[in-house]
Structure 1
Amino acid sequence: MPSSRSAVAQVSMSCAVLRVLFLDDRETDILPIRHALESAGLPHTYRVASTGTQLRRALASSDWDIVICGDSVQELPALVSLQIVRELAPAIPFLLICESPRHEHADTLVKAGAQDYLQKDDLTRLPFVVLRELRTATERRTRMQTEFALRRSEERIRLAAGAASLGIWSYNVATNVIDWDAQCYAVAGIPAGTIITPELFESLIHPDDRARRREVLTEAIRQGSEAKMEYRLVRPDGGVRWILSHGRVYLDGDGTVREIVGVASDITDRKVAEQALRASEARFRGLSASSPVGIFQADLQANVSYTNPRLQEIWHMNEPEILGRGWTARIHPDDVSHLIEGWSDASSRGSSFEIEYRLLLPDGETRWIFGRSTVFFNEAGLPMGTIGTVDDVTNRRRAEESLRRSEKLAAVGKLASMIAHEINNPLEAVTNFIYLAETSSEVNKETQSYLRDAQHELQRVSQIATQTLQFHRQSNRQTRTAPSQLLESALALFARRLSEQQVTVERDFADVPAILIHASDIRQVLVNLLSNALDAMAGTPGKLRLQLRRVSTSADGTDRIRITVADTGPGMESAVKARIFDAFFTTKGEKGSGLGLWVSGEIIARHGGRIQIRSRKAESGGGTVISFTLPVNSFE
C-alpha cells in the first residue's frame, strides 16, 4: 500500500489544491473529514451545500474534484444528492460518509453510481479513496475526451467524405462482413442495410477486373500496406460504375489480418471524360494526319512542339528537326526576322497572325508559304501558346505571276496590233515611195545611198513589229510532242551555218516522254537560242552542245524536262547577263531587235517552266549555257 506522502504527491500532481463540495448540514460532521485530509497532507478548498438548490448552484458555479456526502442531511437525502450530481456533473466522484458500517442506503447508492462509502468514525482510508477516485475520474475524463475527439474526427471524416463523394468501407475478418456507409450503397445500387459478404461484393465486380483486384489486395495483405485499385462495379440495374478504391490493411500482433479499412470514390464521370478526350485526340490525330495543310503548335516564343505529317512534307524535314526553332532553318534568310518578329508581336497581344514567306529547300528551289496562327489561353485568360496552319501557295503565286504576265502580254498584244495596223501600213507606203525615189533617174548616187540606208532601217522597224505580233499571236493548239524532235527540227534550219562556221554539234539526249506544249512556240525558243549561240561563235570554229534530261526539282515532286543549249563563245559580262532577258536589250547593235530572249522567257513562263543562263566572259575557254525546263504535263 502506498504511503500517505506518496499519495499526497500523486494527488498534488493531479491538482494543486483539492476542491471539495460537502453535502452536509452539520459543521461537526465536516470537520473530521477536513482534518483527515489535512492530516494526510492534502491541501483543499471546500464549500457546503445542504439543500438541493444550493447543490445545483454550487455545481453550476464551479468545477469540483470530488463530492463528499453525509447521511444525515434532512433536506437533502443522499440518493437525491447523487441523482442531482449525476445529472449535472456525471464525471465528479461521489463519496458517502455514513454512521454505521452497513448503512441501509450505502449499497443502493453504490449501485446508483456512488464511487464508495466510508464510516464516519474510521476515515483512515479517506486519502487513498480520494486518490483512487481522482485518478479514476481523470482517466474517465481522458477517455471521454478521447471518445469525444474520436467522434468528432469520425464526423469530420464523414463530412469530408460526403463532400468529396467518398464512400467509407471496412472489412472485418472475424465477422467476414464488409461494412459500407450510405455512399457505398448508393453507388453500388444496393439497398442500404444489405449485409455485404466478400462473395456478394465479388459478384458485383466486373468479370474482367476481378483477377486484378484480387492480385492487388493479396499483395497489400502480404506486405501489410495500402491497396489502391480501379475497377468496375456492375449494378443490379445493369449500370456500370468505375470505382477508385484506397484501402489499408491492419494486422494483429501475430501478423494476421484483423481489418481492412478504406474509402471508395465513383470516378465514372472522369473515366467517361477521359474516354471522350482519347476519342477527341484520336479524331484530331486522324484529321491532322490527313490534312492537306500543315498544322503546328508552338509557345509564345515560336518554339514548335508539334507538327503534322503534311508540315513535315512541306518543310522537307522530320519532326525532331523541326521542333523548337529548328523550323527556321528552311526559312529564306530575307524573311526570318520579319516572320519571327511578326509572330511574337501578335502572340504577345493575343491576336491572330497571317503572313506569306519563302522556304529555301535543299535543292535550291524556293517555295512560297502562307501561314496563319491563333493564340490559345489558359483558364485565367492568359496567352499560353499558338496553334496554326501552313500551306504551300507556290502554285497560286505562280498562277498570279502568270496572270500578271498575261495582263502584260495583253498590253503588248494591243501594242502589237497597233504596230501592225497603225505602223506597218504607213511603213509599207514609205518603203514604196523610197523604192520609187531610189530607182528614179533624177536622183544622184549620194541621195540613192541615203535612200538605201533609209530602206534598211525601215525593214528593221518592220522586223521588230512582225516579231512582236508573232509573239502576241500564240497558237491555241497544243500537241503532244517529243522534245528531241523539236531540237532536231530547229537544228536542221541551221545546217548551212553550222558547216560554214565549222561548228560541231554534241548531242546528249536522254529518253524522255513526249509533252503537251505549243510546239511552234517552243520551236521558236529553240531557234532563237541556237541562232544566238551561232552568233556568239562567229569567226572561230566552235562546239554546240545540246542536252535533254528528265529531272525533278520541285517540292511537289512534279517531273520536268530540261533542255540545254551551250556554246563555246566568249561569254558575257555580269552586267549584260543581268539584263539579257529584258525587252529591247541587245548586244548585236543594229542587227538585233532585243526581243528574242524576252519573248523566249515569256513563252517558257507561260508553259509553267523556268529559263536560266550561266555565262563566263573570257577570251578563250568562256561560253554560255542556257537551260529551260517544262513540266512533263505542261498544259494537261
Structure 2
Amino acid sequence: MKNNQESALLLRDRPAGAAPPPPGSPSAVYVLRVEEDRVAPVWVSESITRIAGYDTHEMLGSHRWWLDRIHPEDQPRVAAHQLLLFEQNHLTQAYRFQHKNGDYVWVTDERKLLRDAAGKPLEIVGTWHGASSCKEAVEALRESEKRYQILTKMAPVGIFHTDAEGNYRYVNECWRELADLTLEEAAGAGWTQALHPDDREWVSAEWQRAARLNLPFKAEYRFRRRDGVVTWVLGQAVAEWDASGELAGYIGTIIDVTEHRRIERALRKSEERLNRAQKIAQLGSWDWDIVSGELVWSEETYRIFGRQAQNFHPSYESFMATVHPEDQSSLAEALKQALFEHRLFRIDHRIILPDGAERFVHEEAEISYADDGRALRMVGTVQDITARKEAEEEIRRLNAELEQRVEERTAELLAANRELESFSYSVSHDLRAPLRAINGFTQILLNDHAACLNEEGRRHLERVLCASERMGQLIDDLLNLSRITRSEMHREWVNLSTLAQQIAETLQAGQPERSVAFVIAPNVVARGDARLLQIVLENLLGNAWKFTGKHARARIEFGTVQLDGKRSYFVRDDGAGFDMSYADKLFGAFQRLHGASEFEGTGIGLVTIQRIIARHGGRIWAEGAVEQGATFYFTLN
C-alpha cells in the first residue's frame, strides 16, 4: 500500500496522457564551470537527450534554466545539496526533472567538485542516471533524503530554510550552536536576536535588499551567544521559487569565520608592522615570479623608486626602464649570473626618478629553483644607499686630502727632527765645552787662588760652580727628553714589581740613615718598553724619596688599582704633597711647586714621564695635599 502511495506521489504532477520515462534510461555526463558565486553548464553528453528530451545545446543555458526545471518540491533540497557540495566535494541526490514533454522524470544526480592546486573551485563533473521504474525512483528518493538528512545534521556549516517572509522552517544542529537559538526561538524575526546589536540593522537591511532585487545574500556579521561570546560568521542564502515563479523562501548556510578573521587581522597587523619597519629602515622588498613574470613591490619599494602604485605597474621591463642607462648592462649580467649559476644576487646600481634625479640603491635577492634546476622565483630587498655613497665619496676626498696633508706634515716633521738632532748636537758639544770651561776655571780659582779672595768672593765662586753643575744637569735632562721622544720602542712583558724593588734598594743604599718603608705589590707586570718604563719608575720613586726627605719616618707604596674599569698603576708617598689647585702645572717643563732651596731638581722629570706614558698610549695624573703626601697614577695600553 505504501509503495502504491509513493508511486502515486511520483506521478501526480505528470500531465494526463503523458508517457512515463522509457525503461532502462541511459546515463549522461555533464560539466559545470564554477564562476564566483554561480555555476554554468559548459558541456553535456548526447545521451542526456534520451533522459530529458532536450538537445544538448538547449541544456547549455544558464544554471538557473536547469534549476527552474527541477520539481518545486525538490528545489530546496537540491539547492541545499549545491551548498553542501562546496564543503563535501562529492554528493549524490535524487530529484524530479521536467522532461521536455512536460512530464517529471526521476534522475539520480552524482556530482564531484574539482579544485585547483590552491583549493579554489574550478568545475563540477556530474552524471545523470534516469530511473527505470517508480520503485527505483522511490528508493532513490529515500536514499537521497536519508543522505540529505545525515549531511545537514553532520555538516560543519549551519544550514537553514525560510519561507518567503523569512520565517525559519528548518535549521540544523550547527546553525543552532552558532546562533545559540532553537528553531522555535528563531521563528519569524526572532533569529535577529542572535545578531550582535551593532549588526542587526544593517544585516536586516541587506537581507531585504537581496530579496527585493532577487540577488543572493552574502555577508559577514557577528552572532552573540547568551554567554556573551561573539562569533563571526559568513552567511549566504539563495532564493527558492515555486512553479509559478513566486518566491517560496530561502535556503542558506552560515560558516564560522572567527578564526579566519583573527588570522586576517593578525596578517594585516603583521603587514602594517613590516611596512612601518621597512619605512623606518628605508628597506623595500620585492617578489618576482619568474615563470609568470609577475613582480610585486612593497610600499617602501615604490617610495624608493619615486613611483605610485596606482599609475606604475612593476615588471622586469618597467623596472629596467628605471635603471640608469650606464648600469643596465651590468645589472642584466649580474642577474643572468645569479639565475644560471645559482648565486646570491647582490648589486649596487643607480636609478632615475621621475623628476630626473639619480639615486643609488643596493639590491639583494635569493632564488628558488625547481627540481630540474629552472629558476622559479626571486625574493629580494632594495635599499636607498645614496647617502652612504655620498659619504663614501666624501671620505675618499678627505682621505686624499689627508694623505696630502700627512705627506706635508711628515716632511715638516722630518725637517723638525733634523733641526732637533742639530740642536741636540749643539747642546751636547757646543754648549758643554764652554760650560766645562766655566766649571774648570771656577774650580781652579777656588783651589789655587782662594787665599787671594775674601770670604764673599769665595762664596760667589761656589755659586758659579753650583750654577754650572745645575746647568749641566739641565742639559743632560733635555737630551734625555729628546732621546725619549725620538727613540724606537721595543714592547715586551716587564715585571714592574722587580724594577720597583731594585730602585728602592738603590735609593735606600744611597741614604741608609733614613727610615723609609717601601710597600711594593708583587708580580705587577705590564707590556711596554722596559728601558722607558724603568725611567718612569726611577722618576716617580725618586720623587717620592725626595719629597719625604724631611719626615723622620716615611712610607712609599707601589701597586695597581681598577679605575673606571681599567687597570691603573700608582706610586704613593706621605711626604710634602702639593696644592691641588696647581696640579695642572705638574707636567709642564721647568715647572716646580717647591722651591729649589727646599728640594733639588730641574723640573724635567715629570715631563719625561708624561712623554713616556703617552708613547705607551696611556695617561698620567696626580692627587695630593700639602704635607699629606701625593699619589701619581698612570695607565698603559
TM-score grouping bracket, smaller chain normalisation: 0.3 to 0.5
Per the normalisation by structure 2, the TM-score is 0.37
Greater Rg over alpha carbons, structure: 1
